Amino acid sequence: MMFNRSSAIRFLIFILMSLNLWGCKTPQEAINSNSAQLVKNGAYFLFLSDIHLDASRHKTDSTQDTGLDLWQNCTIKLDSILNSPDPPKFVMCTGDLPAHYKCITGCFLTGEKLAAHNKNIMTVLSDLRKLVAKNGIPLFYIPGNNDPIAGDYYSFANQNKQTLFSLVDESILAFPALNVSTKKLATHIISMPDTTMGYYSALIINGLRVIALNSNIFAKKYHSVDGISQIKAGNTEMNWLSEQLKDAQSKGEKVYIAMHIPPGKDWALLPSKKNLWLNSFLSLSDKYQSTIVGIFYGHTHMDELRLLYDSTGKKMTQVAISCPGITPIHGNNPAFKLVSFDPQSLKPINFTTYYSSVSAASWGNKTYQFTTVFHTDPKKAMYESLKTMSISEINKDMNLIYTVRHGKPNYHGKPYNTMNTMIVKWK
């Protein structure tokens, strides 16, 4: 149930008075500069995606990928959160670490392009490792389509069965990502059938399982160079997902599903027109609705939601939550999120988006919250709030933040229909 006007005003006044901010700042400024404190009153995790670092670029241009200056400002901000008195329970990174590159005759990487690609990956991996190594906060990495060392949209492992983690020397410091087999982190892992496939499940905290999918395998643009066909790889992963959900349900665990490419128009019409991976995923989302309490993704670079429906197309079963990109290349302001969840139900109840302008000398404190933008009850799960709203209401509010407050919604310079983006139904 949404707040009425008087309830919303009373709630805002309570927050401002409790933070001793009344008379110092406008209500919106108070919310913007102190959102972290609101989030940190309960359990939360740090969510980032689509860094797309171009290590050869020292100064970031708003029409290009992340330069070293923007990434450095971001890591300083992340460090302040990770080392705060009330740090996040874990970090989730939904992929796309290196910069984009132009595919002229194909996206397969060799020579100088491969060297630059690997350097970008190693820079980000090294920086992320340093950030979480200080305090032992678990970092869960999920593969992005730009991350394979063979090239964009290629299989997670290349023709030599190497992945981006083949670049990491674990004898120096065990890498804080759970699809890497390390003694330090092995106790978190529930299932990791094959490290070269990029998907796994792990116990985040007691009673909460993360299922990290390699959704690149389901993509229209996927290319296999690891000797395993897309259909075989996709069927194996989808069957594994079903088994994981069944196992989690039997043990009374709640589940977060994390992926890079979200379910929707970018998924291939495979393995057949009558039996699509998209429909299988939507079916599982419906079947295990009480077990799956959160779905998270990256890839779009925008601040958006996706509403998942059952086979009738009338009942909304899940809400998937995106993380905007650090890169500003698609017209968005650079951003990441803090996602708060109820410690008992483990359901996501709010998020705070931290964003920065490309020209800023530092990341700063610009923020906004889900509960403020969508006018929802901060005590209710996001899904429960959204299912009572009309599609047009959700679309209107999402348009306010879609480009992370950079301007009117656009993608590659063209107007974008967010309503078509956020509704995911069976095909």
Number of structural domains in the chain: 2
Q: Do residues 6 and 103 share a domain?
A: no
Q: Do residues 266 and 339 share a domain?
A: yes
pLDDT digits (tens, 9 = 90+) for 130-147: 898 877 788 999 999 999
Average pLDDT for residues 274-287, to the nearest whole number? Answer: 97
pLDDT > 70? residue 164: yes
Pairing label, strands 335-341, 305-309 = unpaired
Confidence of residue 284 (pLDDT cuts 50, 70, 90): very high
Average pLDDT for residues 259-266, to the nearest whole number? Answer: 97
- The C-alpha atoms of residue 380 and residue 371 are separated, in whole angstroms, by 10
Pairing label, strands 305-309, 316-322 = antiparallel
Q: Do residues 140 and 172 share a domain?
A: yes
Beta carbons within 8 Å of 345's beta carbon, 6+ residues apart: 254, 293, 381
Q: Do residues 134 and 277 share a domain?
A: yes
Q: Do residues 103 and 26 share a domain?
A: no
Which CATH number fits the domain that encloses residue 101? 3.60.21.10
Parent domain of 90:
40-424
Q: Do residues 100 and 139 share a domain?
A: yes
* Encoded tokens for 418: 């967010």
With 0-12 / 13-18 / 19 or more C-beta atoms within 10 angstroms meaning exposed / middle / buried, residue 262 is buried
pLDDT digits (tens, 9 = 90+) for 226-248: 999 999 999 999 999 999 999 99
Check residue 11 and give its pLDDT: 35
Q: What percent of the chain stands above pLDDT 70?
A: 86
Q: Do residues 46 and 96 share a domain?
A: yes
Q: Do residues 261 and 240 share a domain?
A: yes
Query: Dihedrals φ, ψ of 204, to 5°?
Result: -75, -60
Whole-angstrom CA distances from 338 to 74, 140, 267, 324 are: 14, 15, 27, 12
Q: Do residues 65 and 157 share a domain?
A: yes
Q: Do residues 7 and 139 share a domain?
A: no
Handedness of CA 113, 118, 123, 124 (dihedral sign): positive
Single pTM value for the model: 0.89
Average pLDDT for residues 250-260, to the nearest whole number? Answer: 98
Inter-axis angle of helices 230-250 and 277-287, nearest 10: 0
pLDDT digits (tens, 9 = 90+) for 408-418: 777 777 778 88
Place of tokens 């892992």: 189
Q: Do residues 330 and 197 share a domain?
A: yes
pLDDT > 60? residue 23: no
- Largest Cα span, the chain: 65
Query: Dihedrals φ, ψ of 330, to 5°?
Result: -100, 15
Pairing label, strands 305-309, 423-424 = parallel
Q: Do residues 17 and 55 share a domain?
A: no
Check residue 311 and give its pLDDT: 96
Inter-axis angle of helices 5-18 and 27-39, nearest 10: 70
